[in-house]
């Protein structure tokens, strides 16, 4: 692939460009849409071969692969009226926009692939779910940390819902910290300790030989403190509430 365009240069668009340009190797030319002007200008200053286009049509015209990374509510405004040749490859990062709906908006027979890269693609450390599998798209995301192709949008939406749990995890950690400060611990000490605890959890997750339930068991002394919190807080009602929230999100994504 020689050229890649990005329509919507925000948080995730920027991370993709940084990932493509970090780590060396031949990188495609990158053409950016002009909105998100400061971010786009910053990227073109930092990286050779990254240019800001005059408008979204120029991004499409100059690129073999076009990544759409605008917010769902902005996509009609960003895309309506653009002309797409059928030999383009379109990658949509927008959560909750079905491929058939996007095809109607774009009015093209070009392949449309949905993908869920996460900000860690900037360090080439995120596994990106793609749907359906496409050799060019999968090899692009392999380069950014790994591709996990899935065959249909029902499956894709389940992964998309899982992605929606990330900030709840950070909020959980922040709640632990604030509980400690309520008990008189200095907030910087609580913050430092909670980060240290869960950084080690992150490291354990890299060991893919142990299933997740076994990781939990391996960290738990029978009738010890961890078992107590797991069974008194993460009880069946709490588990059901989490699954219900995920079901609600999945229904909205379909
Ligand atoms: N953030 C993430 O981790 C992930 C996000 N996504 C998806 O990617 C999409 C973007 O998310 P995110 O990067 O967080 O959002 P941001 O709000 O950070 O970025 C969206 C960008 O789109 C730009 N934009 C708005 N309208 C237009 C237009 N008409 N033409 C060109 N660009 C336009 C905005 O410009 P301006 O600033 O000028 O308004 C902004 O720079 C969403 O659909 C989201 O679901 C998918 C995977 C992960």
What residue segments make up the domains of the chain, in order of their start?
Answer: 3-151, 166-253
Kindly state the average pLDDT of the residues 61-88: 96
Percent of the chain with pLDDT over 90: 89
The pLDDT of residue 36: 87
Q: Which CATH class is domain 3-151?
A: alpha beta
Mutation pick for ligand 1 pocket among 70, 75, 122, 162 (CB with most ligand atoms within 8 Å): 70
Report whether CATH 1.10.287 matches the domain 166-253: no
Q: State yes or no: pLDDT of 1 exceeds 90.
A: no
Mean of per-residue pLDDT scores for the chain: 95
Ligand 1 site residues (CB inside 6 A) read: 7-13, 33, 35-36, 56, 69-72, 74, 77-78, 93-95, 116-119
Q: In what order do the strands lie in the sheet with 65-68?
A: 50-52, 29-32, 3-7, 65-68, 89-92, 112-116, 128-131, 147-149
Kindly state the average pLDDT of the residues 204-222: 90
Kindly state the average pLDDT of the residues 189-211: 92
pTM of the predicted model as reported, rounded to 2 decimal places: 0.90
The pLDDT of residue 130: 98
pLDDT band at 202 (very low <50, low <70, confident <90, very high): confident
The pLDDT of residue 110: 97
């Amino acid at each position: 692939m020689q050229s890649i365009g990005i329509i919507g240069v925000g948080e995730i668009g920027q991370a993709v460009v940084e990932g493509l340009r970090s780590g060396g190797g031949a990188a495609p030319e990158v053409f950016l849409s002009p909105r998100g002007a400061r971010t786009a200008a910053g990227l073109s200053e930092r990286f050779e071969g990254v240019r800001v286009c005059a408008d979204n049509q120029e991004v499409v015209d100059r690129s073999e692969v076009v990544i759409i990374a605008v917010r769902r509510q902005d996509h009609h405004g960003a895309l309506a009226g653009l002309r797409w040749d059928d030999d383009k490859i379109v990658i949509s990062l927008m959560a909750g926009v079905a491929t058939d709906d996007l095809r109607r908006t774009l009015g093209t027979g070009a392949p449309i692939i949905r993908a869920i890269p996460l900000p860690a693609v900037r360090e080439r450390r995120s596994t990106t779910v793609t749907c359906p599998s496409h050799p060019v798209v999968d090899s692009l995301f392999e380069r950014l940390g790994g591709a996990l192709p899935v065959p249909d949008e029902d499956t894709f939406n389940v992964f998309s819902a899982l992605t929606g749990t990330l900030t709840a995890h950070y909020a959980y950690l922040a709640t632990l910290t604030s509980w400690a400060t309520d008990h008189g611990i200095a907030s910087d000490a609580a913050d430092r300790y909670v980060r240290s605890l869960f950084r080690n959890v992150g490291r354990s997750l890299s060991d893919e030989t142990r299933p997740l339930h076994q990781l939990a068991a391996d960290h738990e002394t029978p009738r010890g403190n961890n078992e107590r919190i797991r069974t008194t807080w993460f009880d069946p009602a709490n588990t059901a509430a989490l699954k219900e929230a995920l079901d609600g999100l999945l229904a909205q994504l379909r």
